[in-house]
Amino acid sequence: MKKKLTAMILAAAMLLSACGAQPQTTQPATTAAPASTEAATDPVKENTEAATTPYAGENIQVGGRDAVGTNAVVSTGREDATQIGLDILKNGGNAIDAAVAIGFALGVSEQQSSGVGGGGFMTVRFGKTGEVVFIDFRDRAGAGATLDRWEVDENGKVKDDANKIGALSVAVPGEVKGLLYALDTYGSKDRKEVMQPAIDLARNGFEVSHITSRDIKDAYRNLIKFPATVAIYLDQDEMPWEAGAILKNPDLAHTLELIAEQGEEVFYKGEIAEKIVAAVQAEGGYLTMDDFASYEINVTEPVHGTYRGYDIYSSNLPSSGGTIIIEMLNILENFDVGAMDPESAEYFHLLSEVFKLGFADRAAYMGDPKFVDVPVEGLIDKEYARQQASRIDMRKAGSYEAGEPAPALQPQESASTTSFSIMDKEGNMVTVTKTVDATFASAMVAEGTGILLNDTLVDFSVDPESPNVVEPNKRPLSSMSPTLILKDDMPFMTLGCPGTTRIITGVLQVITKVIDHKMDLQEAIDAVRMHDDFGTLILERRVPDEVIEALKSMGHELNTGEVWFTFPCIQGVIRLSDGSFKGAADPRRDGKALGY
């Protein structure tokens, strides 16, 4: 009785929080010695050592995130996954082998953000040919997905959050098919070798970081609803795991072993699909075996633009990220951004206006290109950007409707989250952003699999007039933006991040700080971050008061509640002038780069 009462109190407390979570095991995990709870007095703590547990309460540990290598550099959101990728490279694997190994590993140690129950995107540049490829393994709605599956009120809110939590939020996962396609097509190592580190990580366990523990606590009120989830993410007393505990997931280890032995067939047509479908249907969902068997990835070209002489390659539809980033960069080209102080009111104001223009177009035009005509070429046209730039008043904040780009082209052949980047001396560049959607997603684990199921259907609009309205077999719009940048046909930088629409603004800010302000990549990632999509300028509280007052005087509505944003969290690699590589990782999360 005491245990249940404590759980109820914690669940009520979590209603006042707002974030997400991380993994464990079907059997209660062994608990390691807890991390120190001694509070630091400074909100920014300099740490020059490797940052294995970088987050403690309000304290962000800066330093020890970046790394330089002459052969290759990897940057991910978890040091264990970064090390796995680097080991693959050291043992003769190529960048794709490393990316696939990292992808499966992050699905274990950062399962609140991604995993085989989700999907994502991969942008790749091959050093030998210079070819750039975009692999879309975004989750897809089932054949039974229709708007009337949810009860929607007059304010557009779905009753009981059924599009966010539980079986009616789950789409067909794409990650297994996407990662294995990349490995089979472009990799050099076999499945078992590449997947074994993730299997070992699931079976032997990993240390819970402060961020993981925080995420479990924030998602507690949803996790406690599902017994198979409780068995993995809560301790013996059905309470959140604390930092320092060792989380094991033997069911997930077994699932990964089946995939390593049998390939994608076991996931999409075999016993894993059967268990997922059974779990979803038992909770009132509608996914079927046919939905899994018919799932396909899309391999296309990325969207391409330029910015001040640099070539930008980023995510194509159904992600809006690449198109909107390039549109925003095109608008910024009409201003002397490099002459602006990157922590000035002038700079933040300009970015705010550019962001609002881009997001207005995103809402009006973007959706799955197999269902709607999207004017991609019009949106990334330089002349259209000049028209958009002319709408900006540098003295006051504006409010914008969507612009009028060139007419839509025919549909092209065809966004918690995690992102990682790899570059090597052969000229290969890989950046991946993948997700189960919200932190801890649907909160459902399919019994006997260890798989946390996505809540990707929440990314659809419930407005029947939206180009992104839910429809059968449709992929929802995303903001994921795995991005590659070249200079004079040579690798320059890879980057990506989690964070819903903040992905777009986060990636853009790092690009402009590196190109316009000549910042070191780690410095650009650490710099003050902002966001604005539809009228509230959200700004990290690390700027002088006079900057805040100047923005208010321009008419901006401000939110400066966070010293450091929770998201977005950038992982990137840049090629240095001497031909070596530098990886950088975001202190806002558990990120770490390694090189050799």
Q: Which residue has the tokens 């507690």?
A: 220
Residues in a beta bridge with 348? none
417 is catalytic: yes
What's the token pair of residue 198?
């993730």
**β-pairing, 310-314 with 483-487?**
antiparallel
Residues in a beta bridge with 206? 247
**β-pairing, 490-496 with 530-531?**
unpaired
**How far is the first Cα of the chain from the last one, in angstroms, to the nearest whole number?**
54
> Is there a contact between 407 and 445 (Cβ–Cβ < 8 Å)?
no
Q: How far apart are CA 121 and CA 321, in angstroms?
A: 11
Which runs of consecutive H residues, i.e. helices, occur in 283-375?
A: 289-293, 321-332, 345-365
> Is there a contact between 506 and 497 (Cβ–Cβ < 8 Å)?
yes
Q: Which residue has the tokens 């020059």?
A: 48
Question: In terms of Cα–Cα distance, which of 431, 433, 485, 478 is closest to 459?
Answer: 478
- Rg of the chain over all Cα atoms, to the nearest angstrom: 22
Question: In terms of Cα–Cα distance, which of 170, 174, 138 is closest to 280?
Answer: 170
For residue 478, give the 3-state DSSP assignment: strand
List the catalytic residue out of 53, 255, 417, 433: 417
* Max intra-chain CA distance, the chain: 68
Q: Which helix (H) or strand (E) holds 203?
A: helix 191-204
Q: Which residue has the tokens 């097509």?
A: 185
Long-range contacts: 551-559, Cβ < 8 Å, 24+?
551/345, 551/348, 551/349, 554/345, 554/349, 554/395, 554/396, 554/397, 555/396, 555/397, 556/349, 556/352, 556/397, 557/397
Residues 542-552 as b/e (b if ≥16 CB within 10 A, e otherwise) read: ebeeebbebbe
> Is there a contact between 178 and 208 (Cβ–Cβ < 8 Å)?
no
Q: Which residue has the tokens 């076991």?
A: 266
How do the residues of the chain divide into helix, strand and coil, expressed in percent and rounded to 5? 35, 20, 45
- Cα-flanking dihedrals φ and ψ of residue 538, to 5°? -100, 125
Residues in a beta bridge with 119? 435
CA 303 to chain centre: 18
What's the token pair of residue 283?
């909770």
CA distances from 365 to 52, 355, 403 (A): 42, 16, 10
- Torsion sign (Cα): 543, 546, 550, 552: positive
> Is there a contact between 373 and 365 (Cβ–Cβ < 8 Å)?
no
Torsion of CA 7, 8, 11, 13, to 10 degrees: -110
Beta strands in 217-286, from DSSP E residues, in sequence order: 246-247
Residues with active-site annotation: 417
